[in-house]
Every structure is written in structure tokens, then in C-alpha cells.
Amino acid sequence: MNSAAIDRFPFSPFPIGWYWVEFSENVKSGKLYSKQWLGQSLVYWRDSNNKVCVADSTCPHLGANLSPNRGGSLRDGLLVCPFHGYCYDASGLCVKTPAGPPTHKLSLNTYSTRETGGVIYAWWHPEESSPQWDIPDFDEGNWSNLVYDSRVIHTHPQETAENGVDLTHLPYVHGYSQVESLGPLEVEGPLLQNRFTLTRRLGPSNKLCVTLRVSAVVSMWGLGVSTIEPTMEEAGLYIRQLALCTPIDGSRVNFVMAMQMKDIESPNALVPGLSMVPKRALNAWLLRIFFNVYRKDISQDFEIWENKKYLIYPRVGPDERPIVRFRRYCQQFYADSPESVT
């Protein structure tokens, strides 16, 4: 573990929970992939039945590296070890060898997966326990395809998730105005939700801009999966933003920003005359504009996250009490905490 991470954060760099592995469209059947994920070297692939396997890259036979850049390969949907040719199916089970069926049971160390809304997630627990909660079915509803981007930064998932309850930084860092909470944080087990409204100006100048009054709901399922859902009721504008923070090692995370939206229902309420634009082109254009705004806003936090120090006893004001409650919520995701998920 990176000593710098220990100095910055008084908790494990790998909280219990679900974490992004890849976008579904980027995992093609018949191709093997690898990456560093929560301090582990992973391989992952999709078999001919479209099932995804996420596993450690070490062959349980004699320890060969199964990564594609180390000789691992796929053959007829099976992962083939470069050392002795042992073959593993998408459940992780060794199903054949060059000499015939295996003489004893061998299984890869695999991770429970969940594929929904165009994203592949895998479950992490330091004791390799099975998932203790699920994430929603993001396939439901008439949402557009995802647009996305990512950035590797030096921080921790708890730090990035904390921004979802820290309303007082929104005007100063991001330029929002009239930020108002719609009630206390709602916490039910691993699910946390925060509701608020804000005003946001979009445009090149104060004279040439659109003023949006937006209601938003932040939802977290652990520290690796968050959504921000801004809504502008009068325009029938519904957006879903994903904030997926996945540790790479003891000090770095891959912060993934993604967005999708529903077809806008009343575009003239957003900008008069906008309904004259063909519907398909309009929605694609709006999605790209709003995603660029989201990406720009999040990028304003990157340098702060990379350089701030976690304070165990922060001096928060009365309006910042949700931060204290959020930190209590986080305790359940650490195996050494008395409130952790087991």
C-alpha cells in the first residue's frame, strides 16, 4: 500500500462495495482485457453467451499471469493459460486441459458482477464475501446511450463521494446560486440520498446565457457508485449523471464521469424556438452540451481532491452537518469498523 495514502487517509483505500470495471460497449465477445483494479491485477472477458467474467489474473494451477499482454488468450469463449493450456469458463471453473478434463477442481478467483445501464460493475470485499446489497436496474426507462470520460487522480472514493453532500462548496467552486437543501440526508443501509435545488447559468456571458432552476437528487450505493439526477420540470428535462470512483491502487483512483438523458419534452421552455430543431439532433446536441458542463464542473474539484488533507475532526458549521452524517454512513464500508458490512 502506498505510504502517502496512509498519511492522507485514516482508513483503507479499498472500501467495501460495487465498483466500475468497464462500459459494456467496450467489452467485446472473443477478446480478453486486463487492468489494475483495487490493488489487484484483473482479467475480464465476455463469452459467446454474453456472460462477463471478472477474475484475478493469476492462474490457480501454478501461478501464471493470464493477462493478454503476458500470453493469456481466449479460445471458443474460454480463457486459456499460457503456461499449461488450462481453460476456464466464464464462471471461473477450469473445464478442460490439453490432456483432457481436469483431474482435480481448479477455479479462478472471480468477482461477482452486475451489468446494467451499459456499465459493468464488480463487487469488492477484503474477505471475499458475497454482495451484501445490489445496485439499481439502470436499464429501466427511456434513457439515451451514455457519453463518458475518465480521469486518473490521487484521492479516495470517500473524498469524491463527500462532495455529494457538501452543498456549501457549490456556489464558491462551481458558480451555482440559490442552492437550497430540500431536507436532511436520507440513509437506508448502503443507500444515501441528498435532495436540493440550485440555479445554474449556461452561456458565454451573463447577457448571453440561459438560467436554469434545477432540482437534483444525489444517490449513493456505497462509495463507488453515485448518480446525480438534475431535473427541470417545466422543460421536461431529465438527466442522469454517473460519478464512478474506482481505486486503482493505494493512492490513485479512476474517476469516471458519464451522462444520459431522456428526450426533452418542452424544449421551448428551455430556449424559445428550440422545438424547431429536429428532435433527434436536438437531444444529441443537448446531451453533448450538458455533458461538457458536467465534465467541466467536476474537473474543478480534481486539484482540490488531489491536494487536500482529510481531517478527522473538521470544524464544520451548522449548515455543514450533513458532512458529519455522511462520514458516519461511510463507516459501514470498512471491514475494521464496528459498523461495517459483513
Q: What is the pLDDT of residue 8?
A: 87
Strand partners, 310: none
Residue 340, pLDDT above cutoff 80: no
- Give domain 14-124's CATH superfamily: Rieske [2Fe-2S] iron-sulphur domain (2.102.10.10)
pLDDT in tens, 184-240: 999 999 999 999 999 988 766 666 678 889 999 999 999 999 999 999 999 999 999
pLDDT in tens, 36-51: 999 999 999 999 899 9
- Cα-to-chain-centroid distance, residue 294: 15
Residue 1, pLDDT above cutoff 50: no
The amino acid occupying position 228 is I
The mean per-residue pLDDT over the stretch 334-340 comes to 75
Tell me if 53 sits within 8 A of 94, measured CB to CB: no
Residue 170, pLDDT above cutoff 60: yes
Q: What is the pLDDT of residue 2?
A: 45
The mean per-residue pLDDT over the stretch 48-66 comes to 96
Tell me if 214 sits within 8 A of 234, measured CB to CB: no
The mean per-residue pLDDT over the stretch 292-303 comes to 96
pLDDT band at 102 (very low <50, low <70, confident <90, very high): very high
Residue 150, pLDDT above cutoff 90: yes
The mean per-residue pLDDT over the stretch 116-126 comes to 97
Query: What predicted TM-score, i.e. pTM, was given to this entire model?
Result: 0.94
β-strands 177-181, 113-116 pairing: unpaired
| Minimum mean pLDDT range among 170-179, 191-200, 207-216, 248-257 | 207-216
Residue 328, pLDDT above cutoff 80: yes
Residues 6+ apart with CB under 8 A from 49: 77, 90
Q: What is the pLDDT of residue 189?
A: 97
Domain boundaries, the chain: 14-124, 147-333
Q: What is the pLDDT of residue 3?
A: 44
Q: Any idea which fold 147-333 has?
A: Naphthalene 1,2-dioxygenase Alpha Subunit; Chain A, domain 1 (3.90.380)
The mean per-residue pLDDT over the stretch 273-291 comes to 95
Distance CA 89, CA 110 (A): 11
pLDDT band at 250 (very low <50, low <70, confident <90, very high): very high
β-strands 87-88, 78-80 pairing: antiparallel
Q: What is the pLDDT of residue 207?
A: 63
Q: Find the DSSP H helices in the chain.
A: 3-8, 157-162, 169-174, 279-307, 321-330
Distance CA 187, CA 10 (A): 23
Mapped onto helix, strand or coil, the DSSP state of residue 255 is strand
Nearest to 193 by CA among 296, 315, 325: 325
Residue 342, pLDDT above cutoff 60: no
Q: What is the pLDDT of residue 201?
A: 83
Distance CA 283, CA 229 (A): 17
Q: What is the pLDDT of residue 341?
A: 52
The mean per-residue pLDDT over the stretch 126-136 comes to 95
Distance CA 239, CA 291 (A): 10
Tell me if 195 sits within 8 A of 216, measured CB to CB: yes
Residue 5, pLDDT above cutoff 70: no
Rounded percentage of the chain residues whose pLDDT exceeds 70 = 95
Map grid coordinates 483512483 to a residue: 253
Q: What is the mean pLDDT of the chain?
A: 94
